[in-house]
């Protein structure tokens, strides 16, 4: 079994749910702006995790499909708003929503997808499910939305802060990236009528692979070439973003190197990316980050021990490994 096979197993049904969610948006301009990134693709890992987590606790995929669409809608909403905030002009190989439709319509498109996410989840059939389970799933998803906002706010604040501690960094990426992935696995387990123990295990699994995902993202930024990842090598450095390598280097570098690193991060200069990578290598910051990501993935897989064996469980293990294998 390969990860691409797992993702394609559910992609059609997830796409159908997304289409249903967006179909009635009016006026046409808002419909087009809201659907732009959804139509541009994306790997759909998050919604797949919802369905797999549901199946892994013995539930039916059908019961999790609306929640899966909901998680993908929230992810897309946050991308649209983040691109406005970060002035990113490309996303998924396409011009960003605000580049095509302007900022006002892009803000509205994000807000619309946010609303549609809850509408979708609220349409989950209560035939075989208790209404309380749906409320539990809703609370999970809403909680992750608050965390996404807080994480993005920290990310913005950290661009002007050069004494970020590791715990502050981990808290930021947990909120910004991992909370939604944890909400995906948790809501799937809830809607699959999992036990509290199973729900907890899958929540922790989601959180851990989510953190690993973000750290891997940090690492990919300085090793990948532009063609594969769609943005120039070292763009985080140029934008002065706080990554785990930066936090580690700032904590361990000599005061001269620390000073040099801070001045480069403030500078927005593509020409000094290699210099930063040298500093990272000098202090073992890249290896440090990779090891943390690896440890997270290992612990994440261990969490799944409480589940009975199933295809879905095997798929979750493969996805955990994929987080570190992916090259873009």
User: Where does this chain bind a copy of itself (CB under 8 A)?
Assistant: 25-27, 29-30, 81, 84-86, 103-105, 107-108, 110-112, 114-116, 118-119, 122, 126, 130-132, 134-135, 138-139, 142-143, 145-146, 148-150, 152-154, 156-157
Least distance CB 150 / a copy of itself (angstroms) = 5
Nearer Cβ to a copy of itself (187/216): 187
Least distance CB 81 / a copy of itself (angstroms) = 5
Nearer Cβ to a copy of itself (175/301): 175
Contact 289, 219 (CB under 8 A): yes
Nearer Cβ to a copy of itself (30/220): 30
Least distance CB 139 / a copy of itself (angstroms) = 5
Least distance CB 177 / a copy of itself (angstroms) = 15
Least distance CB 87 / a copy of itself (angstroms) = 9
Name 158's Cβ contacts closer than 8 Å, sequence gap at least 6.
Answer: 164, 168, 169, 172, 241, 242
Least distance CB 191 / a copy of itself (angstroms) = 14
Nearer Cβ to a copy of itself (139/241): 139
CA distance readout (Å), 117 to 66, 113, 222? 9, 6, 34
Label residue 168 left, alpha or beta by phi (over 0 means left) and psi (-120 to 50 means alpha): alpha
Nearer Cβ to a copy of itself (154/288): 154
How far apart are alpha carbons 115 and 113 in whole angstroms?
5
How far apart are alpha carbons 113 and 22 in whole angstroms?
8
H-type alpha helices, 174-305: 179-191, 196-223, 226-229, 235-238, 244-252, 255-265, 273-282, 285-303
Nearer Cβ to a copy of itself (118/170): 118
The full length of the chain comes to: 328
């Amino acid at each position: 079994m390969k990860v691409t096979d797992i993702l394609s197993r559910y992609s059609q049904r997830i796409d159908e749910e997304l289409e249903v969610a967006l179909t009635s948006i009016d006026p046409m301009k808002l419909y087009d702006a809201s659907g732009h990134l959804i139509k541009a693709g994306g790997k759909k890992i998050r919604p797949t995790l919802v369905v797999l987590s549901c199946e892994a606790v013995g539930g039916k995929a059908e019961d999790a499909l609306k929640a899966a669409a909901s998680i993908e809608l929230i992810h897309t909403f946050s991308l649209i708003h983040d691109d406005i905030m970060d002035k990113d002009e490309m996303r998924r190989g396409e011009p960003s929503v605000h580049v095509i439709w302007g900022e006002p319509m892009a803000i509205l498109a994000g807000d619309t997808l946010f609303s549609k996410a809850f509408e979708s989840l609220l349409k989950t059939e209560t035939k075989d499910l208790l209404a309380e389970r749906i409320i539990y799933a809703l609370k999970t998803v809403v909680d992750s939305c608050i965390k996404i906002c807080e994480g993005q706010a920290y990310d913005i604040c950290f661009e002007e802060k050069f004494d970020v501690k590791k715990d502050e960094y981990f808290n930021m990426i947990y909120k910004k990236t991992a909370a939604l992935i944890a909400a995906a696995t948790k809501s799937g387990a809830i809607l699959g009528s999992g036990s509290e123990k199973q729900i907890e295990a899958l929540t922790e699994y989601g959180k851990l692979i989510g953190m690993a995902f973000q750290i891997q993202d940090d690492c990919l930024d300085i090793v990948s070439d532009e063609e594969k990842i769609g943005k120039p090598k070292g763009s985080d450095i140029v934008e002065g973003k706080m990554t785990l390598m930066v936090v580690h280097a700032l904590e361990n570098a000599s005061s001269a190197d620390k000073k040099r690193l801070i001045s480069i991060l403030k500078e927005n200069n593509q020409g000094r990316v290699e210099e930063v990578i040298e500093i990272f290598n000098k202090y073992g910051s890249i290896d440090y980050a990779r090891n943390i990501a690896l440890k997270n993935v290992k612990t994440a897989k261990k969490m799944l021990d409480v589940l009975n064996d199933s295809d879905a469980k095997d798929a979750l293990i493969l996805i955990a490994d994929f987080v570190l294998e992916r090259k873009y």
